[in-house]
Amino acid sequence: MPKELKLLIQVGHPLIFIESSDEIRALKLISQVSEELTRSNLCWSMTEGLTRIPDYVKDNRELIRPDQVLPPGKAQDVLQHLIKNPQKGIYVFKDLGPHCKDALVHRLMRDLMQIASKEKMTLIMLDALAVPDEIKRFAFRYEIGWPSVQELEDVVRETYQKIREESYVEVNSNLRRRDMDQLVQSLRGLSCCQASRVVASVIYDDHHLDGADLPRIIEGKRQLLSSTGCLESIAADFSPDDIGGLTNLKTWLAQRRDGFSPKAVEDGLESPRGVLMLGIPGCGKSLCAKVVAADWGMPLLRLDPGVLYQKFIGESESQLRQALRQAEAMAPVVLWIDEIEKAFASASASSADGGLSKRMFGSLLSWMQDHRHPIFLVATANDISALPPELMRKGRFDEVFFVDLPDKEARKHVLKIHLKRRKMNPKGFDLDQLADHCEEFSGSELEQVVISAKFAAHQENTPLADKHLIQEMQNTRPLAMLSAEKVRHLRQWAVDRCVSAD
């Protein structure tokens, strides 16, 4: 990664833009490159003025106030100073983007760029937000990406060492090589600062770091991802036995379980890309995503389409790109997009969003076609009429499955699963009779039947029995009955277009 930035500086790009919230990591990278090129490096912010990049960025230790070249002030002051006193070197501007909307700052930047080309000055804008259009066309965008495995391992070691030196109680660790690899894998997709905080919280909890802390590392990461960005880390605590029916889908997934393994790569196998699951609501499509992640031993990330759309122009596309880059950094991973038709429904018809949905959908399709990362995409949908046809062609997904209402054997299996979960012995119930009373029920409706029957038995102060379950089934009007026309149309559409999951 430093090699690419070094090359950009060597060829003479006058203005480079880095969009990153991990400011310290970006400064460390710039400092490393400046040392390799033997160029001076200066950094400006409104609060610190123009200073030399401090040494603390090299080892993450406490900040030592750097030598000040210019006191804090407005952006136009430092730009005018550099225009009058141009010197060869690398100049980093923190959060300069918003200032570029000012006409004077914009003009000064243009003037300084002309001088920079002659004087071998490199201007680097380091912002947490996208650069404004006023200066975007003049800046070369550089991606620092997410921390590598080695960087994250260094973060773990540095965080542990720092806490050990500062703590008043003994702090120890017995991480084995395998534990360290798993811990670093669990931290992928976080910035260095975020990873350091997650590791620190685990160490401070019991002043110890070992393989038993992995679940808490994953939980800390899940909380971070739920509050930042569009990706949410989901707990995958299911197995294929927790789903009734779907025999074809289970067999298909079992055949591709080792598709991301080194042996599969050696044998020349293409890594599985993903599945699109259409079907009737409540039949287990979303649950399948969790089962895939648990069965394949991969993290599960859910892309929340609702968070993608932002009010500012260009920010929605940036959110999608960042989410996909984050998924790539965490690979191998299962990426789950639930109810994908709601996120990109306007892409298949004219809409009042100025073509935003079509651009977003185009970006997703291009990524699905071109990416080569070990990411298995699971997309679910209920309304096929809202899906553009290009989404379902081969190459984007490995297969398109249709999830129908469970048959009798599947209904018996689903009832058995939910009875066991509620500490009931399925052998005490007539599952054949019960399955006959719920012919058009979905899996989620069967679960609610068990829950409601349990409450009814509790109110009567009697054990749960067949009569309670049958009574609740008779009181329930399933979706297949309430929306019979839509269900019939969906089934007819899927006959020759999808592979049956059962």
pLDDT of residue 354: 52
**Which of 157, 205, 161 is closest to 184 using CA atoms?**
157
Residues constituting the chain: 502
Q: Is 142 helix (H, G, I), strand (E, B) or coil?
A: strand
Pairing assessment for the beta strands 231-234 and 300-303 based on DSSP bridges: antiparallel
- Per residue of the chain (502 residues), what is the pLDDT tens digit? 678 899 999 999 999 999 888 888 899 899 989 989 999 889 999 998 998 876 555 555 444 455 677 888 899 999 999 999 999 999 999 999 999 989 999 999 999 999 998 888 999 999 988 788 888 889 999 988 888 888 899 999 999 888 888 877 788 888 888 888 878 877 877 888 888 988 999 888 888 888 888 778 877 777 776 655 577 777 766 777 777 778 888 889 888 888 877 777 778 888 888 998 888 888 888 888 888 887 787 778 888 776 666 555 556 677 788 788 878 877 778 899 888 877 665 555 555 455 667 777 778 888 888 888 888 999 888 877 667 777 777 777 888 888 888 889 989 989 999 999 888 898 999 999 999 999 889 989 999 999 999 999 999 999 999 999 999 999 999 988 888 888 888 888 888 888 888 8
CB 405 within 8 A of CB 280: yes
CB 341 within 8 A of CB 383: yes
Cα of 336 vs its chain's centroid, Å: 9
pLDDT of residue 453: 93
Paired residues of 336 in beta bridges: 302, 378
pLDDT of residue 323: 81
Paired residues of 450 in beta bridges: none
The Cα–Cα gap between 90 and 112 comes to: 13
pLDDT of residue 64: 46
**Which pTM value belongs to this model?**
0.66
Q: Is 402 helix (H, G, I), strand (E, B) or coil?
A: strand
Q: Is 81 helix (H, G, I), strand (E, B) or coil?
A: helix
pLDDT of residue 83: 94
The Cα–Cα gap between 357 and 362 comes to: 8
Q: Is 246 exposed, middle or buried (0-12, 13-18, 19+ CB in 10 A)?
A: buried
Across the chain, which distance is largest between two alpha carbons, in Å?
90
pLDDT of residue 61: 46
Half-sphere exposure of residue 393: CA atoms within 13 angstroms, side-chain side: 7
pLDDT of residue 167: 78
